Amino acid sequence: MSRFELEDEERPAGRVYLDEADPGDRRRLYFKLFGFGGLALLLLLAGGAVYFFYYRSDDSIKGFLAEKLEKIDLDGTVDRYYFPAGSYSPPLQKAIAYYKENDRARARRSLEEFVESAASDQEKSVALVYLGIMAMEVERFAEAHHQFLRSLRFDEKNLAALVNLALTERKLGNPQGAREMALRARKLAPDDSRVAVLLGNILSDIQDLSGAIAAYREGLKGDAHDPYLYYNLALSLLRSGNLEEAAMYFNRTIELSPTGQLAVTSHAHLGQLYFSQNRLEMAADQLKAAVDLAPANAKYLYNLAVVYMRMGQNERATQLLDRALATSADEGRVYRSLALAYQELGLKGRAQSALLKALLVNPNDLSALQDLGDLYYKEKELLKALDIYKRIVNMTPGDSNTRDALLVLSRIYTDLERPVDALAMLERARELSPGDIEVEASRAATLARSGRIDEAVGIYRQLLTGRLERDDERRLRLELGRLFRSQGGHDLAIAQFQLNLARAKEAPPTADLISELELARTYARLSRPELARQHYEAIIASPQATATMRQEAHLELAEALSSSADRADQNEARKHAFQAAKMSPDSTLTRLVQGRVLLASDSVVDREKAIEILRALSHTDLSPALASQVHDSLGQAYYKNGEYERALKAFDQAVALDGSNQSAYRNQRLAAAAYEESLRR
């Protein structure tokens, strides 16, 4: 597919020490990600590309699949509150019972009264720990911090107060203070696995992965059966690039806790890890286990679908994507990823549905709007695309997103044959980004399409007089050369392409295959196959050429050589057409060129083969322009056979399909004259 990622995991539980989870975990995770996400990503990449092996490389299905497993959160260590344990006096037991019964108001009153009573300092310290925990539950971290400090004044060795104070320091963004409290707690309870988890999580926060790993390992000496220690250790090992040991500890986590969130996220991490190693069957097994445990999780369904796509099992993948689309994910990114997957499977309608669902989650999701607008534009639903990009312009604050949307709007208006509106959009883009080369080049292209050729050429030439990066100069000369060629200025076009090739040889030398291809096409249009050949062959032989580019070179060279009267050139044309067919046997364009090459021969047998190929193509689902070319070529075959009536019908069909097909118009007149002449005989 063309661009992808496995969805971020929800933050998994680190250790359950209380009856209920911290209700603010999700929101605090987002703040953590902003604070530490960038550095974590650098560490992840430096660790050997744990999750991505060719990130955003090309538009191939391979490139899409490599990226598009949705990432799992590597900062997924989560703390839970540490409850005091022990035997207490009846008044304190009663106050704690109110808390456990979820009667927070009575619990607070009872605990506050207890602190003011004549109870022992140790029990007052315990009561203050519970008051601090209740403050943390409603995210009043400053109040919680105060209560835990009060608790330690009554009992400086209260382990629960130290652990929870460390947690509060983390929430308040003070990792060093949290580390200090955790180290004090470890001195009091060196074998307590709960303290080891806390210390490891704090060290992980400050990117001390080796320290975190050591803390988790130390904790395992005291409790070798704690699944949370194994899980957090596996996460830290994964972040440090130690994949095999991370996999071992994720598996150990699953053994100790086969159900629940820890098992789900462990399976998900293993699935991503195995996918990154191209162990697809193992990745599928792990992700299927995650889906079985969490069947309504859109991320896991999506990730498993991507693995099946990589395995070529598109039907199973589509079923999983449909299940994911039917869920109620709370992140628009999941639906954006689904949309990309659907596009790779050719299911454009479902891709649109996924993006629309992302916008239901967040109507101002800029990425979803951009993806939807791009999809509408690609599908030629121009009015829908127009509405989307207008919406983007209105919601963005005049930044690069506004400028990009204005550029797309100019292209849409140009396609709608509204050049005045297109130029108005570009003027607005110029105001936002004065001197922007892309904006100016778009102005030139829009003027050219509206017939104002001289103005367009003037803009291109003006831009080329400035100080340009090599890539910008190359792009401008390509556009100017194509414009010259479209107006019949082949010598001027050749000069631009040759200048690009000359620049490509300058230090550092680079391959400019696009200019090579455009130069070859220009010579082919001039019916100079001997000159076109050397540039096409340079592309075919280049190690930098993509498979698509090589196929285009084979096809176009075959067509150029087929027009030659030289038998050797015609034989070579067949070879190139055959090579293109080997590279893409189901390509409509390849089969059309094969038919044309055979048609160029004087052999009746070749002509009949050409008719067979072209007739088969004429019954397939083609775009009007391509279908017109097929019928035009078929008409030429009939004409050569002397079947003027059939030829005329084929040319009529070609003209009806594409009124701009000048070749079909000329051939239609010739066939009509020949048919009338045959009737008079």
Assign 3-class secondary structure to 530-559. HHHHHHHHHHHHCCCCCHHHHHHHHHHHHH
- pLDDT at 46 exceeding the cut of 70: no
Query: Which residues contact residue 352 at a Cβ distance below 8 angstroms, ignoring those fewer than 6 apart?
Result: 339, 372, 375, 376
Q: Which two tokens stand for residue 272?
A: 């991503």
- 381: confidence class by pLDDT, cuts 50, 70, 90: very high
CA distance 145 to 133: 10
- 33: confidence class by pLDDT, cuts 50, 70, 90: very low
CA distance 5 to 51: 9
**CA trace torsion 603, 609, 611, 615 (10° rounding):** -170
Q: What is the average per-residue pLDDT within 160-187?
A: 88
pLDDT at position 24? 40
CA distance 298 to 7: 9
pLDDT (tens digit, 9 = 90+) per residue, 653-675?
Answer: 999 999 999 999 999 999 999 99
- 681: confidence class by pLDDT, cuts 50, 70, 90: confident
Angle at 563 between CA 561 and CA 569, to 5 degrees: 35
Burial letters 270-283, b for 16+ CB under 10 A, else e? bbbbbbbeeebebb
Q: Which two tokens stand for residue 261?
A: 């969130």
Query: For 328-337, 366-375, 444-453, 596-605, which range has the lowest pLDDT when averaged over its residues?
Result: 328-337
Q: What is the average per-residue pLDDT within 130-143?
A: 93
DSSP 467: -
pLDDT at position 77? 53
**CA trace torsion 206, 212, 213, 218 (10° rounding):** 170
Residue 69, classed as helix, strand or coil, is strand
Q: What is the average per-residue pLDDT within 252-259?
A: 94
Find out whether 663 and 596 touch, Cβ atoms under 8 Å. no
Query: For 55-59, 405-409, 520-524, which range has the lowest pLDDT when averaged over its residues?
Result: 55-59
pLDDT (tens digit, 9 = 90+) per residue, 573-593?
Answer: 999 999 998 998 888 889 999
pLDDT (tens digit, 9 = 90+) per residue, 532-549?
Answer: 999 999 999 999 999 999
Assign 3-class secondary structure to 400-446. HHHHHHHHHHHHHHHHCCCHHHHHHHHHHHHHHCCCCHHHHHHHHHH
- CA torsion sign, 394 to 395 to 399 to 401? negative
Q: What is the average per-residue pLDDT within 397-410?
A: 96
CA distance 289 to 297: 12
| Distances, alpha carbon 507 to alpha carbons 260, 500, 502, in Å | 59, 13, 11
Higher pLDDT among residues 59 and 220, named by residue? 220
Output the average pLDDT for the chain. 86
CA distance 464 to 444: 12
Its pTM stands at: 0.68
Query: For 69-78, 156-165, 170-179, which range has the lowest pLDDT when averaged over its residues?
Result: 69-78
pLDDT (tens digit, 9 = 90+) per residue, 94-103?
Answer: 999 999 999 9
Q: Which two tokens stand for residue 583?
A: 């590279």
| Distances, alpha carbon 364 to alpha carbons 27, 31, 369, 444, in Å | 19, 20, 8, 33
CA distance 186 to 189: 5
Q: What is the average per-residue pLDDT within 367-384?
A: 95
**CA trace torsion 168, 174, 180, 182 (10° rounding):** 40
pLDDT at position 108? 95
Find out whether 320 and 307 touch, Cβ atoms under 8 Å. no
- pLDDT at 43 exceeding the cut of 70: no
- 75: confidence class by pLDDT, cuts 50, 70, 90: very low
Helix axes 175-188, 193-205, angle to 10 degrees: 160
- pLDDT at 73 exceeding the cut of 60: no
In the structure, how many helices (H) and strands (E) does the chain have? Answer: 35, 2
- 267: confidence class by pLDDT, cuts 50, 70, 90: very high
- 197: confidence class by pLDDT, cuts 50, 70, 90: confident
pLDDT at position 348? 94
pLDDT (tens digit, 9 = 90+) per residue, 640-655?
Answer: 999 999 999 999 999 9
Q: Which two tokens stand for residue 1?
A: 């597919």
Q: What is the average per-residue pLDDT within 52-79?
A: 43
Find out whether the peptide bond into 508 is cis, omega within 30 degrees of 0: yes
Find out whether 498 and 480 touch, Cβ atoms under 8 Å. no
Cα–chain-centroid distance for residue 299?
A: 14
- pLDDT at 463 exceeding the cut of 80: yes
Higher pLDDT among residues 230 and 58, named by residue? 230
- 76: confidence class by pLDDT, cuts 50, 70, 90: low
- pLDDT at 126 exceeding the cut of 80: yes
Q: Which two tokens stand for residue 86?
A: 């022990």
Question: What is the distance in angstroms between the CA of the first residue and the CA of the last residue of the chain?
Answer: 60
Assign 3-class secondary structure to 614-649. HHHHHCCCCCHHHHHHHHHHHHHHHHHCCCHHHHHH
pLDDT at position 85? 86
Find out whether 501 and 511 touch, Cβ atoms under 8 Å. no
- 18: confidence class by pLDDT, cuts 50, 70, 90: very low
pLDDT at position 199? 80
Q: What is the average per-residue pLDDT within 292-304?
A: 93
- The alpha carbons of the chain give a radius of gyration, in whole angstroms, of 34
